[in-house]
Chains A and B, each alone.
Chain A
């Protein structure tokens, strides 16, 4: 049974702070890991992906992967009110370079307070 667990929140942080979002997964065969952002009433959009252990940075976003502990996290530095959204963690068993067959977590709702 593939499972992806996220704290549903809501998570509130003040503007300018670091928001930390966590995700754990059950299938040790998982190969690729994705973070999608979903604004209320909108469709999900990809913001980060990672497939190697360690950190991956893209602007204000950093994804962290620890396959031994089966968790992946997303850090948002200098949080802005426009970052307020639901963040979905997704994993798949396929090698890097494939976005197919994703299993999604239920999402963490983030609110950045001005």
Chain B
């Protein structure tokens, strides 16, 4: 089954404790992206990647890191989480060309206390 998976789905952590949210897709998509979703603000892009070893900042990159060492994986790293990073996070992927759809993962609800 074609899918984007994220882990964990739910996470409660404390300020300053490094964490990683994993994202993996099995569709051989070149493009992957991370979004955060907050009430009233919609989906905002954090980082994206056009292919292996190619990453770039989105609209709200502060406080986040990413890496793309393999085509299928695009982890999101919070080196020192803060309460304002409490949010719902989505990973998405799509081909570079020839598709109108971004495929979203199930989401990760993160709470930083």
Contacts and interface: CB of A to CB of B under 8 A. Distances in A.
Contact of A104 (B31, B40, B43, B95): B43
Interface residues of B, number: 25
A103 B45 CA distance: 8
Contact of A99 (B42, B99, B106, B107): B99
B102 interface: yes
Interface string B39-57: 0111111001010000000
B44 to A, nearest CB: 8
B60 interface: no
B101 A44 contact: no
Interface in B93-113: 94-102, 104-107
Interface of A: 4, 8, 32, 34, 41-46, 49, 88, 90, 96-107
Given A100-B31, A104-B44, 7 more contacts: A46-B100, A88-B42, A99-B101, A100-B50, A101-B48, A103-B45, A106-B41
